[in-house]
Amino acid sequence: MTTEEIRRGGVDVWSPSKTPPIGTDLTDEQLMAVAFRHLADIGFAENMAGHITWQPDDQHDMFVNPWGLWWQELTASDICVVDEDAHVVRGRWDVTPAIHLHTELHRIRPDARVIIHNHPYYVSLIAALGILPELVHQTGALFLDDMYLVENYDGEIDAPWRASELAQQVGPANLIVLANHGVIAAGRNLAEAVYRAVSIERVCRLAYDVMLTGRTPSKMSRGDMVGMRQSLIERAADVYWAGAARMTIKADPDVLN
């Protein structure tokens, strides 16, 4: 096989007959709260910064976290609902003006039902260098041809027009590194977006540690990465999410309240 040959991957090659479920029926708000808690657990949140929006299929309104609560303390009843222009429709608290980053992306990216933004440490480190992480491990195949770097930091994204400019710029990428700021991970559902968010922090940490060795990393074949990307999206995201949800609920059942 040549290095340019494209490997097949995903459910075309192997589809599991049965996978472990979350094990309990959850409301949309409970699923959101579990996502916040899990991402906080893996170190994705910079204290109370960041937001996740979920615009369920065929809806304009979206779920989001309120301003001021930390991701690790959120419970299901804290989740707010905003309309497509970021007005709070339901919820006990207000939301940040930075929510426009999400509403404008949702507006032009109907495939991106879930958008996650925060400033995880290792992505922030790579973002401080103004580069995208080098993909040096098979999990990095998840981001093959799917990353975009916003090179210029120009302050807080606190108005719809600023967010709209940024949304127009990033195109179809599901992973956006914002120089000197943080990251945006998108997905067709919570499982996909959460898996991308978790994976990019590890990808950046590994890329940074490889840089520290001063040695040239071994290259993966692009053809193999294409197949692996498909497998990660089609086979890994769902089971990752189910396991993350089981463990998060077990650690603190109060997350569902």
Q: Which residues bind Zn ion (CB under 5 A)?
A: 182
Whole-number minimum distance, CB 183 to Zn ion, in Å?
9
Whole-number minimum distance, CB 11 to Zn ion, in Å?
35
Number of neighbours of residue 19 by Cβ within 10 angstroms? 11
**Who contacts 250 (Cβ-Cβ below 8 Å, separation ≥6)?**
none
- Nearest-angstrom CA–CA distance, 33 and 45: 14
Pick 79 or 99: Cβ nearer Zn ion:
99
Nearest residue to Zn ion, scored by beta-carbon proximity: 182
Whole-number minimum distance, CB 117 to Zn ion, in Å?
6
User: Which amino acid appears at position 193 of this protein?
Assistant: A
Give Cα separations from 71 to 32, 35, 65, 66, 199 (angstroms).
11, 9, 8, 10, 18
Under 8 Å between Cβ of 124 and 67:
no
Under 8 Å between Cβ of 198 and 240:
yes
Please state whether beta strands 80-82 and 62-64 pair in parallel, antiparallel, or not at all (unpaired). antiparallel
Whole-number minimum distance, CB 234 to Zn ion, in Å?
30
Pick 160 or 182: Cβ nearer Zn ion:
182
Whole-number minimum distance, CB 88 to Zn ion, in Å?
20
- Nearest-angstrom CA–CA distance, 81 and 73: 18
Pick 91 or 182: Cβ nearer Zn ion:
182
